[in-house]
Amino acid sequence: MCTNVVYEWLKTLQLLQYAESFVDNGYDDLEVCKQIGDPDLDAIGVAVPHHRRRIHEAVRRLKEADETAAGLYFTLEPQP
């Protein structure tokens, strides 16, 4: 399996055993992973309740990081 961002994300969650299933089910990008719900976890094969909670919490943090970043912007134009 090649190393990608989802692999690294699951590694930080200590859930690396699901990496192949995530990729096989089309979850090969964190943008896609932000959409994960219970039916998706069923399809991926995440049955352990505390693993599911850990993934849901990580997805929530990914979404919060997006909301925080959405308020930040910069311009390359010089200021007057």
**pLDDT tens digits, 24-49:** 999 999 999 999 999 999 999 999 99
Neighbours of 15 (CB within 10 A): 18
CA-nearest of 53, 24, 65, 64 to 6 is: 24
Task: Tell me the pLDDT band of 64, cut-offs 50, 70 and 90.
Answer: confident
pTM of the model: 0.78
Q: Higher model confidence: residue 24 or residue 73?
A: 24
Instruction: Compute the distance between CA of residue 11 and CA of residue 15 in angstroms, rounded to an integer.
Output: 6
Q: Which CATH number fits domain 5-71: 3.40.140.10, 3.20.20.70, 1.10.150.50, 3.90.1150.10?
A: 1.10.150.50
Helix (H) or strand (E) holding 55: helix 49-70
Q: What are phi and psi of 75, to 5 degrees?
A: -125, 150
Q: Tell me which DSSP letter residue 29 carries.
A: S
- Dist. CA 48–CA 51, nearest whole Å: 5
